[in-house]
Structure 1
């Protein structure tokens, strides 16, 4: 019998969206409870140590926080129908690249379209009701929304999603949307016949913010209908055999002969995200050099750096979590057989993505008590040897 789980998430949350989609596709029974429910407020968040979603509560009371941790748990349990980390080691590296990009590289358009367009406010106010304390009256909910939305608007400005940069952010997003639409016109999922971690990572922002909020949803439906179809596939409980999936067949992408639409997407990641990634890495490297060689806790954001996006200066909050995801990418490459590494190298050299393989920090990010930590160099070396 499959494990009964409770997902504390929300339709408003891009990080919850990928976990919900994963559980649905893998046919893992679950109940979703609103992040403002009494149990979430009184039991779950105090146990986690912060108010954050998604959190999964297992039947025995174990709590799993963070989408990567949740998906890894169910992958290891054998409860799913098919692996989300591709068996092909080269394809797995590409999937991990999209995992990094989907979680971090689409944050600006996701926040811009939600928080910078006044026409969005009535719908956004409505969907945020589930995240607030559910025992309050309308006036109390409105007051809580004003407080929470104020914080999120500040974060939106902190990542450079402001009026001055709106044109650059929108142009970059529309470019990505066009490329992804062309790609999903020929295959049902990012890497072929089945969803992988690449799909779940991209789905978070492309559904919860950009494929559900009123204005970007209309934009997606008009400009990128194949992307919209993909969001419906990703949201479904059932398997969908539509014209695209039937034309593609049962296989996954062959990276020895990658489709040009996939190469175009990889080019985009290099063109629009590599500079941000390099700036983030350089700041981390300099910051870590000044820190004692011991476990470092309690630093979700360690500082700010910046990069240039289409002529606009973009500030970048430097977070341990981004390195947590990037080390999963480099680990998958390091653990791949030599032949698979050569396939990845050829593809990444062709698309100017090699920095994602070569930029390494001397310390690893771990997780303790549901929080990211910088591990000592000795521990990092031991994990590398393992």
Structure 2
């Protein structure tokens, strides 16, 4: 394995969901990096190198790149073992990974909804993307802003099933998530205890660059969940080495019941519906949330995430599975369902295992 070129070159945007998640981790670990602000040309170049058009993309060393924040963090945890966020307890680590899945793949919808459905937010973010990501497009600023704003609304609102009924439920998803995280932070500085875990970084994806920074959800966060607001700022300023003497979590907090309820009642049933539609070669999937019907595009990447979670659950010992059942009765029924057709896991030709699969539909920039 070749040594990394430090500081790492992180290609992304300072308003990006997943760039923010990775930056938070790198800052906390003390891993030096430079943020290379993408324009459309760099976005395409990185996509050609890694096989997927998404951000962030990380240059590791000559000819080697990392992509997908979940896989990047797993990889870096093995390379920089000091100040780890990985738990030695397999059952608890699995729950942290499940919460990360929830942050990455469920809160994505309300995060993009607030950014592009609210007039003030859309105007601000359209202006920032026109001046940043689209700075290499030879057109007047107002033309770039109009084009990017309409493009984002098409992808993340109209094509993602947002209408009058679903919009109300999406706003409730945000409020419910804030309440669940606020509950966890009443007793501990971090979600699972005295040290951050993967659960914190998974939820910081949406909570930092979207809900904490975009005007409308930020006002809601300050009003409804001040402990969440404080946690986001504390995490941005954190150095993990300061917590070397703090004990790792050894049990799931009782206050985790609210977030587990959201995962079991909304998130995993959606992931089931998405996989079932993919298995049937459908282009869209339907699911219900509190009686509200959603019709959204099938997402192959989320098929992989759901299958990955179930395969990891199956690899746990019966004792660890029993502990998970004790924390979340009924969760095992959602995780033990058979996999009819495993999504292709052909790894790209890049020499780093953390590169995302070439055949996946990657997340687009937001």
Q: TM-score range by the shorter chain?
A: 0.7 to 0.9
Aligned-partner Cα distance in 2 for 1:117–1:225 = 22
SS for the counterpart of 2:103 is helix
Give the alignment's TM-score, normalised by structure 2: 0.85
Residue matched to 2:59: 57
SS for the counterpart of 2:10 is strand
Higher normalized contact order (CA 8 Å, seq sep 6+, divided by chain length): 2
Residue matched to 1:382: none
Residue matched to 2:291: 311
Change (3 A) 1:365 1:200: farther
Change (3 A) 1:142 1:194: farther
Q: 2:271 aligns with which of 277, 294, 299?
A: 277
TM-fit CA distance, 1:42: 6.9
Residue matched to 2:259: 265
Give the alignment's TM-score, normalised by structure 1: 0.81
RMSD: 2.6
- The superposition leaves residues 264-313 of structure 1 with CA deviations (integer Å, 9 ceiling, x where unpaired) of 211121122232122123223333xxxxxxxxxxxxxx611111122221
Residue matched to 1:290: none
Change (3 A) 1:117 1:69: same
Aligned-partner Cα distance in 1 for 2:113–2:44 = 32
Change (3 A) 1:17 1:163: same
Residue matched to 1:48: 50
- Moved >4 Å (runs of 4+): none
Report if the CA contact (8 A) 2:13-2:37 is conserved: yes
Bigger shift: 310-319 or 21-30? 310-319
Aligned-partner Cα distance in 1 for 2:44–2:169 = 42
Change (3 A) 1:37 1:104: closer
Unaligned runs of 5+ in 2: 349-355, 361-366
Residue 368 in structure 1 maps to residue 332 in structure 2: no
Residue 330 in structure 1 maps to residue 326 in structure 2: no
- The superposition leaves residues 105-140 of structure 1 with CA deviations (integer Å, 9 ceiling, x where unpaired) of 112211111111112133212332464243457x53
Residue matched to 2:364: none
Residue matched to 2:320: 340
Report if the CA contact (8 A) 2:50-2:358 is conserved: no
Q: 1:20 aligns with which of 18, 23, 32?
A: 23
TM-fit CA distance, 1:367: 4.8
Would you say how many aligned residue pairs link Structure 1 and Structure 2? 347
Report if the CA contact (8 A) 1:182-1:261 is conserved: yes
Aligned-partner Cα distance in 2 for 1:309–1:21 = 31
Residue matched to 1:250: 246
